[in-house]
Structure 1
Amino acid sequence: MSDAPTRLAVVGSGFRAEAFLRVAAAAPDRFEAVVVVARRPERARELEARWSVASVADLSELRGPDSLDFVVNAASAGAAVGIIEQLTAAGHAVLTETPVAPDRPGLERLSELVRQGARIQVAEQYHLEPLVSAQLVIAHSGLLGEVGEAFVSVAHDYHGFSVLRRALGAGFRNATVTARRFDESVQLGPSRYSDPEEARLTTGIRTTAWLDFEGGLRGTYDFDDQQYRSFIRTPTLTIRGTRGELRDDVVRYVDADNQPVTSRIERLAAGGAGNHEGLFARAYVFEGRRVWANGFLRARLSDEELGIAGALAGMAAYVAGGGPELYSVAEAAQDVYLQTVLEQSLRSGRPARSSTQSWAV
């Protein structure tokens, strides 16, 4: 694999497109955003000035696949399938934003492209974020015994299902989904850009779903739509096995001598009191072992941005032939599909059952 930075293009000009540009700029030794596809001239000029990239107004103006390692599609979900079809027809490898497609016909179209040899991966970031990544490593290390239950309240909709399925190792098993949604009053938190200007209540919408998978695996999905930016609604992840339980950063298990052990997942970070290295996470450590290590040391990236950087790096390894699939169209399709089953349960007020889809065969 070459030491040269990965060369990529970004399709789109919104918040998510800019997130990829920001991450690439923070790790210039790893990534080079060469060009952005932005239809509005004024927005294109903004991105050119802010991120030192070229811009084009149309996909047809993109450089060929010989001069780009891959293209990031961060356009709207409604436009995604058509954009991906056009890019792959031109020979580009594509890392596409979530959701991979807005409906089942779109999911099936992309699945067929993959069967025909198109190189498409999906930029699902939550399982790549530092703490969740560390938690999943511990959960599947054997320390907890056979994992059979998980409670996931870390991300919304299909993002949450992506973590839930990985926590359980559920793969493409079918599930019965029983869902409930309700309103709740909650203190208003910060916006994407600033703290709240006044102390007041707002209405949060909480969705909880219980998933009974084939083989006896049980999962609970839970999310409040105020949770991402709230001072008082926090993410939580619990994974239970036959010999132990992981609850956020605390792990309890029974050792080989049948004695109880309680250990913590510890975060190592630079930039604290008396530390002048910079501001960045180093690692998560569990019982003296690094269960997550920052592959982008000294880049000033938040945990969310480290997840995005991990997706870019995983895609780079995949297209170079040196890495496994990052997060396949089939996996992304399954998580979007489970979200539709959840919505079906909400509409009917009864449990809904998933069935095996074409991408899971």
Structure 2
Amino acid sequence: MSPSRFAVVGSGWRAEYFFRIAATRPDRFEIPAVAVRREEEIERLSIEHGLDALIDSRRLDELELDFVVVATAPETNADVCEELVERGYAVLLETPAGIDDEQLDRMAKLASAGARVQVAEQYRYQPLLAARLAVIESGRLGPITSAHMSVAHGYHGMALLRAALGVGIDEYEIHTQVHESTITRGPGRDGPPTANELDPSTRTVALISFGDQLGIYDWSDDQYFSWIRSLRFAARGERGELDGYTARYLLDSGEPVEQSLRRWDTGLEGNLETPGHRGYLLGDDWVYRNPFPNDRFSDDEIAVATVLNHMAEYVATGEQFYSLADSVHDTRLAHRIRDFRG
């Protein structure tokens, strides 16, 4: 099977994920070119990644591509996506789908017109979150009545909440509360903190009613990198609940069961296999298997690589995995909560 050929528009922090994944798995993914805006990026991408870069994105038309990844600045994602769709490309659009109502309206129009666009909403494919969603989808907990999500911000959090609840693009009602406090400075994208100082911390809690189902969004801006703020995930159903790593549910006989999700990694504690992540078990049931078990990917890289797999399948079959319409809906939900904060 030949690798999927895709170009990337953009060369920032998020685009680097696609570069690393393609370099690690050239049998699965190939990047013939990267479209950039600055001349200095051409040399950097050649030296650091061995990639050919173009200033004029129209030169992509000279290449044979399966799809194009749009990973530009948030404010330009929608514009670039529209242009590529007009030129006939299938597009994997990085989040967000739009930064305001005007852009989201345009993206909604594209979706209604049948544009071949999927969105790189990767969180549901991170191993632990994929395992948790698999437990929910297995039916062990029965119909899900509520979910509490404190694992990702904004539109990512909305996408996960809807996935856990199993709701579509439905009517909703939101009640939001914001709490301001302080927190000792933690690490960030640039590394560990250089000073032991206090920073402001904003916690946003939103109760979102989807008919008779309740979603609880709970997020602090510092959680992604914090050493002292944990990520939380819980879902309740008619026959059980999943709280963090622990599932409690009733068997058909009515007997209660308690099981824990257990991560299986290789290359640790004397194990001589290739370092990697195999998956998650619940009891003796593999609820999640990593499609890239022999690659030294971080969990987020596994998720992005999984998105690329799904995009290749979408191009071949038309099977959607996270549509532009879904992304627009989740972003609008997130903006409702953001605007309350503002």
Q: Same fold (TM over 0.5)?
A: yes
Counterpart of 1:159? 156
Q: Sequence identity of aligned pairs in percent?
A: 39
Residues 195-219 of structure 1 show CA distances to partners (whole Å, capped at 9, x for unaligned) of 22333332221111111112x1001
**Structure 1 residue 267: Cα displacement:** 0.7
TM-score relative to the length of structure 1: 0.91
Counterpart of 2:12? 14
- Indicate whether 1:140 and 2:137 are aligned: yes
Structure 1 pair 276–196 and aligned structure 2 pair: CA distance change class (3 A)? farther
**Structure 1 residue 114: Cα displacement:** 3.1
Superposition map of 1:1-361 within 5 A: 3-64=1-62, 67-214=64-211, 216-321=212-317, 324-346=319-341
Q: Is the 8 A contact 2:187 2:193 kept in 1?
A: yes
Residues 72-91 of structure 1 show CA distances to partners (whole Å, capped at 9, x for unaligned) of 00011221222112111221
- Measured on the aligned residues, the alpha-carbon RMSD in Å equals 1.5
Structure 1 residues 274-283 or 309-318, which shifts more? 274-283
Q: Is the 8 A contact 2:97 2:104 kept in 1?
A: yes
Q: For 1:298, what is the secondary structure of its paired residue? A: coil
Structure 1 residues 236-245 or 293-302, which shifts more? 293-302
**Structure 1 residue 344: Cα displacement:** 4.2
Residues 1-29 of structure 1 show CA distances to partners (whole Å, capped at 9, x for unaligned) of xx111111110121111121112212222
Q: Structure 1: give runs of 5+ residues left out of the alignment.
A: 348-361
Matched AA of 2:131: A
**Structure 1 residue 128: Cα displacement:** 1.0
Structure 1 pair 191–343 and aligned structure 2 pair: CA distance change class (3 A)? closer
Q: Is the 8 A contact 2:111 2:325 kept in 1?
A: no
**Structure 1 residue 35: Cα displacement:** 0.8
Matched AA of 2:182: S
| Separation in 1, partners of 2:267, 2:223 | 26
Q: Structure 2: give runs of 5+ residues left out of the alignment.
A: none
Q: Count matched residues.
A: 342
| Separation in 1, partners of 2:89, 2:205 | 39
| Separation in 1, partners of 2:202, 2:340 | 16
Q: Which runs of 4+ in 1 moved over 6 A?
A: none
Q: Is the 8 A contact 2:5 2:32 kept in 1?
A: yes
Q: Is the 8 A contact 2:9 2:36 kept in 1?
A: yes
Counterpart of 1:353? none
